[in-house]
Structure 1
Amino acid sequence: MKTELRTLRRSEWDSWFDGILRAFGAAGGLDRELYRELTETDRSLGAWDGDELVGSASLFSFRMAVPGGALVPSAGLAMVHVSPTHRRRGILRSMMRRQLDETRDAGVEPLSLLTASEPGIYGRFGYGMATRRLDADIDTARVTLKTPPGSDRLRMRLADDAASVSDACESVYARRVPERPGMLERAPGWERMPLTDPPEKRKGAGALACVLAEDEAGEVRGYARYALRHGSDGTGVARGTVLLRDMEALDTAAYGAVWRYLFDLDLMTDLRVRDRPVDDAWLHMVGDSVRLCRPRWRDSLFARPVEVGAALAARTYTAPVDVVIDVEDAFCPWNEGRWRLSGDAGGARCERTRDAADLALSVRELGAAYLGGTALRALGSAGRVRELRPGALGAASAAFATDQAPWLSHGF
């Protein structure tokens, strides 16, 4: 029977989602009712073999912070799978083709984003690894922590019901978004994502809790959402773990106060940190950041320009730049050709040109470098960017760089 690729119908959502859960194993960590509300059915695809779902892909409408602080409409690609019974039939390629064509036709989102369970798949569709994430397991019983001045002047307030203080946390989060490239503005409904806490998925931990750092006027300056897993070393000595879900702070004092709180919880000797910026400041507050913290860095967000000109013009540049880039993009050929990028910290333009190229690269390298997390010079050293005018690579690499590492603030 011929596979049919079509836009998801609301009446098919349960079957569609069941197929996704099967593909990603058990529940896949996905909250069914939340995703029912978040799914944009008119931007979701299903590949059907009769009544059987054999492939899926879905887009979410986001706005992402880019260098300079602008929030740029971006299409977040997720829920992508092809059944193992239907591999090598072109289903994935067809879904990627249609999603990118429809995003371009809508003319709203110059960027496409995804996170990848298998990163090697998406390079051929033009996605470059744009951000990394930091994970760590900190031995708080032995690691010393030196917090910034003023951290001890904030009041810490514990809310056992994290949902009850969600508005205060989201206010802090919203103020942080423009400050770091890669952060996503919370579209309606996504503020519930950090609060998902089904008992069957706690794996021995307690319920989600939230602590707020408040100044003398009672304004919330920072927060952390976390859970506690009590345990012992087998001899009766307590050895519990703090499971950090997410945290944000508006200034260094509040940041330090939140981390001090997490380090000092009774009966806890370990702090599990997941999915933080690679330049997170706690790395410079601890006495031993490697041996007793075990930091690891992993791939996170993959990005690709849907419209090269609009994407490059949407961000600012750390240093003045005037460079002609010859772009290769076999999957989205409308991007191919030479583009003149000129700009600085105040803004940028990127337009078609017939001038000789200074650099040559594929759209995948543009996606990797777009947020400043991957240096163009490093890509050049790997043979993935060709310098056609002496000095052009170094100048462009400096312009694309950012003073804060980009970071995807929540998955999708």
Structure 2
Amino acid sequence: MTTDLRVLEASDWDTWFGTLERAFGGALVNSAEEREVWRSVTECERSVGVWDGDECVGTAGAYTFGLTVPGGGVVSAAGVTMVSVAATHRRRGILTSMMRRQLDDVRSWGQPVALLTASEPEIYGRFGYGLGTRQLSADIDTSRVSFRMPGGDGADAGIRLRYVAPDDARESIESLYARLVPGRPGMLERRPGWDRKLLVDPPESREGASALQCVLARRGEGDDAEVVGYALYRIKATWDAAGPAGTVVVDQFAALDPVTNATLWRFLGGIDLTSSVSVSNLPVDDAFQFLVSDVRRSNIRLRDSLYVRLVEVGAALAARTYQAPVDVVLEVDDAFCPWNEGRWRLTGDEKGASCERTADAADLSLSVRELAAMYLGDTSPAALARAGLVRELRPGALAEASVAFASPVAPWLPHGF
């Protein structure tokens, strides 16, 4: 088979996107507005298509993000997206050719890290992607569960909640989100246009729920009031023999401080004609689970979220800080990106780090996939060693690295891409 892998031309976007939609079983967007938003955030110069004559048979793209890493620094990252291969052209090396081209490009762009969310996680391990973050979901029975306030029920600290049209709240939401980005590994600095993508609300995508609603939390009065939190949600109205049993479906949620956080949760849990709150993406250490009166009736679940690929091992490891002093030599296996293979001496602490090639004896041996899983602090080297995926070659090195790589705040991807 002769195919042509080339950079996406803007004029080919409709054909290219149609290939993606067909691979995912149908329409990915449900309105002209939503389609235009997807088009507007596509970085054509960072996207590729595979063509068999006039037919597009493969797609892959990359967004430009800044990724927060442990210590609060931000590393330039490629957000891999829109990956598909036509069912007629499977098992012909098309995906591998796109992954090869993409990682070479990411390296040439000077981005030490690539990211993706996987429709099928088993696909990407062979290209060096490791599970970097997980997410928490919950279905809270608010007919039985209440939320306590830190400092007691009267501790609202002057917080006032107000409904605001989502589009009118866009600037406030983006400003508050940007303040939160440095505080948690895995969060993304977004390019312009993402504020539109995350608020687009076609009726066809609501699955029987209401239009998107927004509540802003402000502290203070008048022009001096500061936005300190927000909740974007829908109401899915349901009635049974006993009466109203609607669900509050949380889309986005953020708060700058514990009291605002608890105030917003209390609001969501007390909306009239509802008896549950459903949320699908929170950090695994989210504070709500310590505020609920009955965690069992919150039906908490975990699942995989962000997958990480270290494109340049040295630069990526040097971009973050470490919770405790560390000085280890890592023997890294990376057949797909052979420039990463070999021994790297990582030295660092909470103030900074360096990671350079070395001929010294290795302390730990692992693949780049496991190193990626450790990168944001979600997965301990010791846990991977218990699975036989990290080998300790110097006694004590595993414990040292496990403490150093940890993050006091669980990493979290706030939204897909």
Is 1:289 the counterpart of 2:291? The answer is no
Find the residue that maps to 2:288 and give its secondary structure. Answer: helix
Is 1:272 the counterpart of 2:272? The answer is no
The offset of 1:152, in angstroms, is 6.1
The offset of 1:193, in angstroms, is 2.5
Q: Which residue does the alignment assign to 1:338?
A: 343
8 Å CA contact retained: 2:7, 2:46: yes
Is 1:191 the counterpart of 2:198? The answer is no
Q: 2:315 aligns with which of 303, 310, 315?
A: 310
Q: 1:406 aligns with which of 397, 411, 417?
A: 411
In structure 2, distance between residues paired with 1:385 and 1:394: 12
Q: Which residue does the alignment assign to 1:54?
A: 57
The offset of 1:144, in angstroms, is 2.0
Q: Which residue does the alignment assign to 1:222?
A: 229
8 Å CA contact retained: 1:310, 1:350: yes
Spell out, residue by residue over 1:357-410, the C-alpha distance to the aligned partner (whole angstroms, 9 max, x if none).
000000001100000001111001000000000010011011000011100111
Spell out, residue by residue over 1:299-323, the C-alpha distance to the aligned partner (whole angstroms, 9 max, x if none).
0000011000000000000000000
Q: Which runs of 5+ in 1 are unaligned?
A: none
Q: Write the letter of the residue equivalent to 1:348.
A: A
Q: Which runs of 5+ in 2 are unaligned?
A: none
8 Å CA contact retained: 2:146, 2:266: no
Q: After the TM superposition, which residues 2-401 of structure 1 pair with which residues of structure 2 at under 5 Å, given as runs?
A: 2-28=2-28, 31-106=34-109, 108-149=110-151, 150-151=155-156, 153-159=158-164, 161-217=165-221, 218-233=225-240, 235=241, 237-290=243-296, 292-401=297-406
8 Å CA contact retained: 1:194, 1:246: no
8 Å CA contact retained: 2:71, 2:320: yes
In structure 2, distance between residues paired with 1:153 and 1:274: 29
Q: Write the letter of the residue equivalent to 1:393.
A: L
TM-score of the pair, normalised by structure 2: 0.96
Percent of aligned positions with the same letter in both sequences? 57
The offset of 1:28, in angstroms, is 2.7
In structure 2, distance between residues paired with 1:342 and 1:34: 43
Which stretch of structure 1 is more off in the superposition, 269-278 or 28-37? Answer: 28-37
The offset of 1:191, in angstroms, is 1.4
Which stretch of structure 1 is more off in the superposition, 219-228 or 24-33? Answer: 24-33
Q: Write the letter of the residue equivalent to 1:206.
A: S
Q: How many residues align?
A: 408
In structure 2, distance between residues paired with 1:64 and 1:323: 24
Find the residue that maps to 1:164 and give its secondary structure. Answer: coil
8 Å CA contact retained: 1:139, 1:293: yes
Which stretch of structure 1 is more off in the superposition, 199-208 or 127-136? Answer: 199-208
Find the residue that maps to 2:413 and give its secondary structure. Answer: coil
In structure 2, distance between residues paired with 1:23 and 1:15: 13
Find the residue that maps to 1:151 and give its secondary structure. Answer: coil
Find the residue that maps to 2:28 and give its secondary structure. Answer: coil
